[in-house]
């Protein structure tokens, strides 16, 4: 369920602010979701709450992490150290969520061998080292941050090297076998969705006067 991650993020936030318990209504209100929806989502994985009380924030955080698989750390690799890749490498939010960027690859020979800004003990590797590194460091997730034209080739290389999941920032649809999980984020597509919905909103307003 895609909402589970959002529940967890919100709950971690609430936990930092010292909240002990939370009701489905409170959690839902913070995320624009109905209380019934929250309860259905959580109940699907077991009995987490106490009638009359709500949910223990700390307990729920622990259980959600377990469900999402982030109660242990995942090793992650990145392909493509352009602007976006560099931003991802420097982002300090992954660590806290249970992900560790342990290897970075690029096709540009000018970058290979140099340290990755913002990452300790990681130097840029050549693409041909991919498979070796994946098995040596037990890497299961790969992030693609390369131009569209290179996307499919990199996806193929990741699949061959044995990763189980791919997060794809290249603005292209990459074909992967069904046993490999893929998520895609395309900035331009996101903006298009926005402009579409803004346009639709404007029409509704027009119709309403």
> What distance lies between CA 70 and its chain's CA centroid?
11
Of 37 and 152, nearer to DNA (C-beta) is: 37
Distances (CA, A) of 25 to 35, 105, 154: 5, 45, 44
Cα distance between residue 43 and residue 82, in whole Å: 43
DSSP designation for 127? G
14, 79, 88, 154: which one contacts its own copies (CB under 8 A)? 88
Q: Which stretch binds its own copies (CB under 8 A): 41-49, 121-129, 131-139, 173-181?
A: 173-181
Nearest to 54, CA basis, from 21, 25, 31, 83: 21
30, 61, 122, 131: which one contacts its own copies (CB under 8 A)? 30
Nearest to 7, CA basis, from 55, 45, 80, 61: 61
For residue 170, give both structure tokens: 């290249």
**8, interface contact from DNA, its own copies, none, CB < 5-8 Å by kind:** its own copies
Distances (CA, A) of 44 to 6, 47, 48: 16, 8, 10
11, 106, 190, 209: which one contacts its own copies (CB under 8 A)? 190
- Per CB under 8 A, does 165 bind its own copies? yes
**133, interface contact from its own copies, DNA, none, CB < 5-8 Å by kind:** none
User: Which residues form the interface with its own copies (CB under 8 A)?
Assistant: 2, 4-6, 8-10, 13, 30-31, 67-70, 74, 76, 82-84, 86-88, 90-91, 93-94, 97-99, 118, 140-141, 164-167, 171-173, 179, 181, 183, 185-199, 201-202, 205
């Amino acid at each position: 369920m895609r909402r589970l991650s959002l529940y967890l993020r919100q709950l971690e936030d609430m936990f930092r602010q010292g909240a002990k318990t939370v009701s489905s209504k409170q959690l839902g209100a913070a995320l624009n979701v109905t209380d019934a929806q929250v309860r259905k989502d959580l109940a699907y994985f077991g009995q987490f709450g106490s009638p009359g009380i709500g949910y223990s924030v700390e307990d729920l955080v622990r259980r959600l992490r377990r469900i999402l698989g982030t109660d242990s750390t995942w090793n992650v690799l990145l392909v493509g150290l352009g602007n976006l890749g560099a931003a991802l490498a420097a982002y300090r939010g992954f660590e806290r969520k249970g992900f560790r960027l342990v290897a970075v690859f690029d096709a540009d020979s000018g970058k290979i061998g140099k340290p990755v800004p913002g990452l300790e003990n990681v130097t840029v590797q050549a693409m041909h080292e991919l498979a070796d590194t994946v098995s040596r460091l037990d890497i299961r997730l790969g992030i693609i941050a390369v131009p569209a034209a290179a996307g499919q080739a990199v996806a193929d290389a990741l699949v061959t090297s044995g990763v189980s999941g791919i997060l794809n920032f290249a603005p292209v649809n990459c074909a992967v076998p069904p046993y490999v999980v893929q998520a895609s984020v395309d900035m331009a597509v996101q903006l298009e969705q926005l402009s579409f919905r803004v346009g639709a909103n404007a029409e509704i307003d027009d119709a309403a006067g």
